[in-house]
Structure 1
Amino acid sequence: MSVYVYAITKTEHPLDLDDVRGVGEDGGDLHAISSGSLSAVVSEAPADLSVARRDLEAHHEVQENLWSDGAILPLSFGFVAPDEDSVRALLDERAEAFSQRLDELSGTAEFNVKGVTDEDVLLRAILTDSEQARTLNESIRDGGGTYEDRLALGELVAQEVQNRNAALAEEVLATLRPLVVSEQVAPPSQQYFVNASFLVEDARSEEFTRAGGELAERLGEGVELRLRGPLPPYSFV
């Protein structure tokens, strides 16, 4: 029987699974497979597993329930093992590495920070601050100017947007880095000028959250800083 694996824990973890159900249409019964000092929390792998809201939410609910009682290694959505013996073999094979990582993650949580800029506000700021951009914009207003003028304005604005977003991202990272144990920073994208996950000690969670809130206010109009956490350490396993 194939099994769906949610997380790996130490055997001393409370494993309070009474109030949660696993993935699948009927919500799979959860149980632990143990070997040595480690346990894996699993359920029977459903035939109808899909990347849909129902199963994604069930997956994360199990992990968050476990994490609230102690350190876990949360597995990515969709991890299915052929049978319980395969899970035990994995626990045995990676026992030292899994145990070490669980010790490292004990007493920590993940926080995710995403930054978004309002394009209209950013464009107005560029036109206010850049005389060259204002001149080019006025020259092409109402269909005037040349193709070269329009091209030059587009290139200038694109470069300014990139520079300003990079500066915002660096300010976010520089402010929050002193408060964290580790970080995972994704490349900037059209959607987010910063997208970073931080591993934070429990003792500094409130300080980190407060610093994030103060930073969001300081960044001002047209900049939104979205902070999620505390979460299980999804990005640090």
Structure 2
Amino acid sequence: MSVYVYAVMAATHPLRLDGMAGVGDPPRPLRVVKGSSVAAVVSDAPDGLRAKRRDVLAHETVLEELMSQATVLPLRFGALAPDDESVRDTLEERADAYQERLAALDGCAEFHLKVSCDEDVLLREVLRQSDDARRMNDEIRAGRGGQELKLALGELVAREVEARHASFGSGIVEALRPLARETRVSEAAGDDFLGASFLVERPRQQEFAAREAQLAEEYGEDFDFRIHGPLPPYSFV
């Protein structure tokens, strides 16, 4: 039977597993696989594992409890290994790298920020601030522009919107970066122009949250700031 892996931690981690249960229905008991300097919390993997709410919640609950005891390297939902021995071999082979990351994450949690902006607001701003965009738009509205002009206007507006997104995103990240130990900017998805993760030390987490709220207020109601955290530091493992 394959093994489900929840997290890696120092072998000195308290590893209090009483009262915790893993993924599966019924929930699989947790156990520890130890290397010489690092360890992993695992369970038997249920057949046909899927990201069902029950199992995702069980995974998160195990990580949160382990994080409350000491620093861990959290694995994302669905990490599998062939057996305990293969887990132990990996712990030994990568012990130095695991210890390095554990030191980097010590006392920290992840905050993930997504930001979007009302596109209509940006389009109006481009037309107001760009002479070329305004001229093209006026010609099209007057019936003097053909398809080529419409395409040119669309390309110009797209470039201007992209530039504004980049400027907004950079400004937000730089405002929060001093409060984080590490920062990772990811490719934004959907309507978002910014997706960024911040590794924040426990004593600074309230200050970080307050600064994010202040930024949201400064940017105004046309911007949608969504902050999630504190989370297991997946983005920094």
TM value normalised by structure 1: 0.90
Tell me, in whole angstroms, the C-alpha distance in 2 between the residues paired with 1:98 and 1:189: 30
Tell me, in whole angstroms, the C-alpha distance in 2 between the residues paired with 1:146 and 1:48: 56
Aligned residue in 2 for 1:28: 28
Aligned residue in 1 for 2:66: 66
Tell me, in whole angstroms, the C-alpha distance in 1 between the residues paired with 2:137 and 2:157: 10
**CA-CA distance at 1:192 after TM superposition:** 2.0
Whether the 8 Å contact between 1:25 and 1:48 is mirrored in structure 2 is no
Tell me, in whole angstroms, the C-alpha distance in 1 between the residues paired with 2:141 and 2:220: 29
1:1-237 equivalence runs, <5 A: 1-141=1-141, 145-189=145-189, 191-237=191-237
**CA-CA distance at 1:189 after TM superposition:** 4.8
- Range 134-143 or range 7-16, more displaced: 134-143
In 2 relative to 1, CA 93–134 (structure 1 residues): closer, same or farther, beyond 3 Å?
same
Could you say what secondary structure the match of 1:114 adopts? strand
Tell me, in whole angstroms, the C-alpha distance in 2 between the residues paired with 1:188 and 1:3: 33
Tell me, in whole angstroms, the C-alpha distance in 2 between the residues paired with 1:196 and 1:79: 23
Tell me, in whole angstroms, the C-alpha distance in 1 between the residues paired with 2:34 and 2:81: 15
Give the partner amino acid of 1:196.
Answer: A
Post-superposition CA distance 1:187-232 (Å, at most 9, x none): 3455321111111111211111111111111112321121111111
Tell me, in whole angstroms, the C-alpha distance in 2 between the residues paired with 1:222 and 1:132: 25
Whether the 8 Å contact between 1:24 and 1:48 is mirrored in structure 2 is no
**CA-CA distance at 1:72 after TM superposition:** 0.3
Tell me, in whole angstroms, the C-alpha distance in 2 between the residues paired with 1:144 and 1:221: 36
Post-superposition CA distance 1:118-143 (Å, at most 9, x none): 11222222223334333333333386
TM value normalised by structure 2: 0.90
Give the partner amino acid of 1:63.
Answer: L
- Range 163-172 or range 81-90, more displaced: 81-90
